[in-house]
Amino acid sequence: MFSTFNFSGEGVGVELNADMRAITNPSFLIHHHYYHPSLASAVLRSLRHRLPVFSPSLIRVRAQSTSTSTSHAELDNVRTGRSGSLASPPTHLDVTQKIDVNPPKGTRDFPPEEMRLRNWLFQNFREVSQLFGFEEVDFPVLETEALFIRKAGEEIRDQLYCFEDRGNRRVALRPELTPSLARLVIQKGKSVSLPLKWFAIGQCWRYERMTRGRRREHYQWNMDIIGVPHVTAEAELISSVITFFKRIGITSSDVGFKVSSRKVLQEVLRRYSIPESLFGRVCVIIDKLEKIPIDDIKKELMSVELSEDAVEELLQILSVKSLTKLEEKLGSSVEALADLKQLFSLAEKYGYSDWIQFDASIVRGLAYYTGIVFEGFDREGKLRAICGGGRYDRLLSTFGGDDIPACGFGFAAKGKGTYARTQPQVQNIVCSLDQDLQGAASSVAARLREKGQSVDLVLENKPLKWVFKRAARVNAQRLIIVGSTEWQKGMVSVKILSSGEQYEIKFSELE
């Protein structure tokens, strides 16, 4: 029934025939002794030499069969011990391999101290979003690949984690949230009333070169307004991000916003009769300013059919840092100028004009932006763009839907040490002074939890010195001690850890 078994180790290649396999796995021999006694006896009689000895950790097994009807299924069952198998797995091939304890490159773990920081950050994201009247949504981490490759030339196409699933469908881990948002808006259609004010906090993936504070997976906060064509929407979004910064103690001397409009770039290209089809590719190149040498920028621009004069004019416009100079170069009738003036006027009304500044070089790298764009930046220059967004009035049509005016931003929550550290905190720590009172301590903890209080219950019989150290580490407000004498009277001891005040109280009155 079975022919040979190929074993290979490091620098070793040996073929063992069926008699050696029988000895190596007794359960295999027992099975054939029961069903094929003559074969089993023949196998035993055929042994002439000792088995070669291999270290189990160096052995890999591959089974071959001459029978087309039973061999693969039977051998698989014998080897793997699957449900319904005839024999258990061979014990000598059980290998415990030491795994790499680090997460995959570009990803990270969240131990308690990091998870507290993340929760604190997400809580602030949610509270600010709700303060501005936004509703929370979410989308699958896994999306159809086509959702992210509608626009050629975008850097993001080369950064996708994409693959073919078992249904032969091309899928990708989402690199951003906006396309998923657009898909959901199209799906909902007229069943939702405009304007929509939605926010999301989700994990995103990009296979890109890692730099300081930049990994291949990160969490992102998005806020989007769907259905408002006016600059009032962008002003509201910038106000929400600034409100977040203020809540966590960051000021306009720490962070600023660079603002421009895609329409500025469109106007320059129109004057040089550059086709509209090249607009997205030019934006991607311009977005590399300050990332690669200016000579490389010029070469890339000329490679997409821009003349040398057009490149020089474009770079001059992109160096402009004030609306007054922009008006001098483009004229007062340009639509982009009117939008930008209105935005800066609204910034004064909101009270955040000291946070924003005009910078014509800001275009954003994603091809779907159509109007005002903005980026949050670190004034010390230590970090890349902290957040960014803008108007994308024509995104939905790229997915087959009807265009609806829209704008939004993405805020990537990444980079260690960017925000203040948070400390663990529980309201109570409960311990018993005797192992026999562990059940009583559990009753105390259960009562407090029913009243909505957080409790760290000491689960072992520990000395008070250990308990006090534990209380300090978790920043407990109260220590509740269950002692034998007090418990017999229906009482517990309470110590207020901030003041040192200590008293006894009836268990039934514990709040």
Q: Dump pLDDT digits (tens) for 20-31.
A: 444 444 444 444
Q: Which two tokens stand for residue 47?
A: 């042994």
Residue corresponding to tokens 């007794």: 26
180 belongs to a structural domain: yes
Which residue in 384, 410, 150, 213 sits closest to 287, CA to CA?
Answer: 384
Residue corresponding to tokens 């106000």: 239
464 belongs to a structural domain: yes
Asked if residue 385 lies in contact with residue 376, where contact means CB atoms within 8 angstroms, the answer is yes
Give the residue numbers spanning the domain of 217.
Answer: 107-229+404-418
Name the CA radius of gyration of the chain, rounded: 34
The CATH number of residue 310's host domain is 3.30.930.10
Instruction: Give dist(CA 366, CA 284) in Å, integer.
Output: 7
| Whether 84 and 124 share a structural domain | no
240 belongs to a structural domain: no
User: Strand, helix or coil at 468?
Assistant: helix
**Percent of the chain surpassing pLDDT 90:** 50
| Whether 135 and 256 share a structural domain | no
In the prediction, which pLDDT does 429 show?
Answer: 96
332 belongs to a structural domain: yes
Of 52, 71, 93, the domain-final residue: 93
Question: Distance from CA of residue 294 to its chain's centroid?
Answer: 33
Instruction: Give dist(CA 3, CA 66) in Å, integer.
Output: 6
Instruction: Give dist(CA 408, CA 410) in Å, integer.
Output: 7
243 belongs to a structural domain: no
| Whether 276 and 343 share a structural domain | yes
Which residue in 136, 121, 343 sits closest to 222, CA to CA?
Answer: 136
Asked if residue 389 lies in contact with residue 408, where contact means CB atoms within 8 angstroms, the answer is yes
100 belongs to a structural domain: no
| Whether 382 and 411 share a structural domain | no
Instruction: Give dist(CA 258, CA 256) in Å, integer.
Output: 7
Helix (H) or strand (E) holding 205: strand 196-205
| Whether 465 and 359 share a structural domain | no
Residues that constitute the known binding site for L-histidine: 176-178, 206, 220, 224, 364, 368-369
170 belongs to a structural domain: yes
In the prediction, which pLDDT does 406 show?
Answer: 96
| Whether 320 and 446 share a structural domain | no
In the prediction, which pLDDT does 17 show?
Answer: 43
First to last CA, the chain: 75
Low-confidence ranges of the chain (pLDDT < 50): 1-37, 39-44, 46-87, 152-153, 415-418
Of 46, 61, 93, the domain-final residue: 93
| Whether 379 and 336 share a structural domain | yes
Instruction: Give dist(CA 264, CA 330) in Å, integer.
Output: 8
| Whether 273 and 358 share a structural domain | yes
The CATH number of residue 435's host domain is 3.40.50.800
| Whether 83 and 160 share a structural domain | no
| Whether 410 and 438 share a structural domain | no
Helix (H) or strand (E) holding 15: strand 12-17
Amino acid at 256: G
In the prediction, which pLDDT does 14 show?
Answer: 37
| Whether 296 and 382 share a structural domain | yes
Residues that constitute the known binding site: 176-178, 206, 220, 224, 364, 368-369
Report pTM.
Answer: 0.72
246 belongs to a structural domain: no
In the prediction, which pLDDT does 212 show?
Answer: 64
| Whether 162 and 220 share a structural domain | yes
Which residue in 58, 47, 57 sits closest to 24, CA to CA?
Answer: 47
Total number of domains in the chain? 4
